[in-house]
Amino acid sequence: MRKLVLLLSLSLFTFLAACGQQKKYISYKVQKGESVKEIAKKHDVKAKHIMRLNPGLKKKPTADTVILIPNVNYNEEEEKARVAAEVAASQNHIAQSKETLYGISKQYNVSIESLKELNPDLLIDGLKIGMVLEIPKEKMLTPEELRQNELDHWAEHYVLHTVIKDDTLYSLTRFYNVSKEELLELNPLLVEGLKLGSILKIKEKISEERLKELDALVFKDSVATQDTINVAMLLPFKFTKNDTLSKEQLFTTRNNLVSIITDFYLGADIAIDSIKKQGVHVDLKVYDSENNRDTIKGFIKSDKFKNTDVLFGPVFNHQVNYVAAELKDIPVVFPFYSSKQKTFVKDNIVKTVTSRDVLKDKVLSYFTEIYTNEKILVVGDEKLASRKEFKEIQKFLKENHDSVKEVNFLQPENGYISKERFVEKVDTLGVNWVILTTNNKVVTADVINNLKSIPNDAEVRLFAFEKAGNFDKVDNNMLAALDFVYASSGVLVDSLPGVSDFYAQYLRKNKGYPSEYASKGFDVVYDVLMRMASNDSLSLRTSFEKGASKRVRSTFDYHQKAYGEPAYNTAVYLRKYKKDLSIELLYLKPKTEEIPMEDQENIPLIENDSIISTEEKKAAVKIVAKE
């Protein structure tokens, strides 16, 4: 009986405690047929507030969906007083998995320093799961102190920047050598634009201790040769023209080519140094092609490439076939992507970037594999080639899936796609799968905006052959709501061990973080040279049979159909946005061997003791002068 009384007492206490605790938001299970507007009216709140709390929520949610709704009875002042009284009454906290001192300090509205003062074991062992912490009774923080606590935490772990007048996203990415995507990931509110005086997280900090740890080379590809690899680079620095320009003039957007090529070289330079550290002898010669065919002819006629084992460049597609024909015994590595690389014909050409056709085939194969009678809409641009591609897609889908009977097509008129025309092409009462075949930014924006406002909240899903610059301004929450699927040959940076180490080494040498093109320079050059060094004959073609390799941002899986045709990269990953904004790696049903999972490969760590400032890019490039 006493046990029963005790149980009832505890239950009553728990109930009263729950009643005393106010929640700013309450959860609600959607009933069948309810709309957001009806739910808002029922709870005396605005529909837009519900939509804001539940990103991606449809205007007519699926029954039994649990959503958050603002609590109209919430009193912020009363809740603050309740929390303060609760903290004063119970001054212990048991550390849970994945908790941090910063999170605990924020939860109890106290400073990290005061937690450390009361719990000296934190200074010795750090925070451990199950550790019982004493929570300070006083020193409750004001909103200003809380914000400062947060900023102190940021400053410890991130490079910070205070937004000033004339700052732009582009200027920040160039100044700090980071991508726009990285800034948005660390600062989600940036989607609303830069705000004067706001503080941004730029990049995770790398401590001096960590930099020293990286001095030891901990990764090695197999090296089977003792011979020297004679490497040549044929890149359009245009130094004859650019020697008269200032550093500021050289690296503006109007001279973007100079910045791209120089960044590529800086990444390649670290790759070569890394190769040397692994015992491979490399002799490098760099030539300025000036993007001039006569200059290139002069190099060839004067036997500049006589003893060359591999040539990186040229970078313009109209020069590649000529150079490859003249240097038929030397691998000619084309380091960038060109839509015209399909015109390359010589078998000594190596195309390092996966072609759009390979990406398209992957997406369409997955599409047909999961298709279950949804309505299909293909959206292209106004070009004639777009309609031609639609015919090819239509043929592929019908030949590879018996249920595909109709494939609709939509192009812009007068430069845009109206809502009326878009709605005519979709099933407003069914499920629609949309394939976007163009990288046109206006068309992409039209498609996304129209998908947001389809009548009756019809179900939609979006597919694209790649996620290029046309998606830069598209909200990731929207892409997640659309179950967005796309293909890429790039590596998900956050998924691989060692990537931060590469950034650290680049930072150590160049006093800045690597751009996309610097990473490409490292990946392409390191991979090709390591493949050559893996066999006694320095044969690049022989290494293609050894399978795929993964570097910092690129995967390489070379194939060559037959002698007489170029080698090409077939590496491709299929990715899908999940509701929690994470990226899921998708796989087709096994027909051929798949590329290994992205998190199962290692990244070569590199080392270099010499320091070259990024600001001295011109001086960093050693050009073998024309005679």
Structural domain that includes position 313: 228-353+496-570+604-620
Is residue 49 assigned to a domain? yes
Q: Which residue has the higher pLDDT, 543 or 268?
A: 268
- Output the domain CATH number for residue 41: 3.10.350
- 291-309: per-residue pLDDT in tens? 899 999 999 999 999 999 9
Please give the tally of structural domains in the chain. 4
Task: Quick: pLDDT tens for 97-154.
Answer: 768 887 888 788 787 878 888 888 887 778 888 888 888 876 566 667 667 767 777 7
- Per 3-state DSSP, what percentage of the chain is helix, strand, and coil (rounded to 5)? 45, 15, 40
Task: Tell me, yes or no, whether 363 and 466 share the same domain.
Answer: yes
Tell me the per-residue pLDDT of 489-502, one tens digit each, with 9 for 90 and over: 887 654 455 566 67
**pLDDT band (50, 70, 90) for residue 217:** very low
Q: Is 581 a member of any domain?
A: no
State the CATH number of the domain containing residue 426.
3.40.50
- Same domain as 478, residue 361: yes
What sign does the dihedral 299-304-305-306 (CA atoms) show? positive
Q: How confident is the model at residue 510 (pLDDT cuts 50, 70, 90)?
A: confident
Q: Are strands 132-134 and 66-70 parallel, antiparallel or unpaired?
A: unpaired
Give the phi and the psi of residue 522 in degrees, each rounded to 5.
-65, -50
- The enclosing domain of 525 has a CATH number of 3.40.50.2300
Domain-terminating residue out of 439, 461, 488: 488
Same domain for 148 and 47, yes or no, is no
**Residue 594, in any domain of the structure:** no
Does 24 fall in a domain? no
The answer to whether the predicted template modeling score (pTM) of the entire model surpasses 0.75 is: no
pLDDT at 601 over 50: no
Is residue 222 domain-resident? no
Residue of 499, 495, 498 lying closest to 514 (CA atoms): 499
Q: What pLDDT does 326 receive?
A: 96
Whether 484 and 509 share a structural domain: no
Least confident segment among 195-199, 460-464, 592-596 = 592-596
How many residues would you count in the chain?
627
158: helix, strand or coil: strand
Predicted local distance difference test score (pLDDT) of residue 489: 86
Q: What pairs with residue 159 in β-bridges?
A: 203
- Which neighbouring-strand residues pair with 460? 432
Q: Which residue blocks in 21-133 are alpha helix, DSSP H? A: 36-42, 47-53, 76-89, 101-108, 112-118, 121-125
Q: In a 10 Å sphere around its CB, with 0-12 CB exposed, 13-18 middle and 19+ buried, how is residue 116 labelled?
A: middle
Shared domain check, 556 and 524: yes
Model confidence at 606: pLDDT above 50: no
Residue 185 within any structural domain of the chain: yes
What gap in Å lies between CA 583 and CA 574, rounded to an integer? 10
**Predicted pLDDT of residue 274:** 86
Do 348 and 365 belong to one domain?
A: no
Does residue 347 sit in the same domain as residue 378?
no
Is residue 90 scored above 80 in pLDDT?
no
Q: Domain check: are 62 and 139 in the same one? A: no
Percent pLDDT > 90 in the chain is 36
Return all residues near 211 (Cβ < 8 A) that are at least 6 apart.
504, 507, 508
CB atoms within 10 A of CB 125: 8
Residue 432, phi then psi, degrees to nearest 5: -120, 135
Q: Judge contact between 40 and 46, C-beta under 8 A.
A: yes
Looking at mean pLDDT, say which of 37-51, 256-270, 386-400 comes out highest. 386-400
Asked if residue 90 lies in contact with residue 116, where contact means CB atoms within 8 angstroms, the answer is no
pLDDT tens digit string along 149-194? 677 777 777 888 888 888 888 788 777 777 787 888 888 888 888 8
Give the closest residue to 585 by CA, choosing from 438, 487, 494.
Answer: 487
Are 454 and 527 within one domain?
no
Instruction: Determine phi and psi for 282, rounding to 5 degrees.
Output: -130, 130
443 in a domain, yes or no? yes
Q: Which of 173, 205, 237 is the last residue of a domain?
A: 205
Tell me: pLDDT of 574 over 70. Answer: yes
Burial of 405 (0-12, 13-18, 19+ CB in 10 A): exposed
Span 202-212, average pLDDT: 64
Tokens of 142: 């004001």
Residue 553 located in a structural domain: yes
Say which residue, 87 or 93, is predicted with more confidence. 93
- Domain boundary residue, one of 74, 106, 123: 74
Q: Best-predicted range by mean pLDDT among 10-14, 190-194, 271-275, 283-287?
A: 283-287
Do 95 and 170 have their domain in common? Answer: yes
Q: Is the pLDDT of residue 231 over 70?
A: yes
* Pair (404, 523) in one structural domain: no
- Rounded CA-CA distance 445/599 in Å is 33
The per-residue pLDDT for 613 is 41
pLDDT tens digits along 257-269? 888 899 999 999 9
CATH number, domain with residue 157: 3.10.350.10
What residues contact 512, with CB distance under 8 A and at least 6 apart?
176, 177, 506, 614
> Which has the minimum average pLDDT: 40-49, 172-181, 423-432, 554-563?
172-181
The rounded mean pLDDT for the chain is 79
Q: How far is CA 83 from CA 21, 88, 91, in A?
A: 9, 9, 12
Q: Are strands 459-464 and 158-162 parallel, antiparallel or unpaired?
A: unpaired
Note the helical H segments in 219-307: 239-242, 247-250, 256-277, 293-301
Same domain flag for 363 and 484: yes
What is the mean pLDDT of the segment spanning 444-452? 93
Q: b vs e for 36-62, b when ≥16 Cβ sit within 10 Å of the residue's Cβ?
A: beebbeebebeeeebbeebeebbebbe
Q: Give the per-residue pLDDT at 445.
A: 94
Arithmetic mean of pLDDT, 57-75: 79
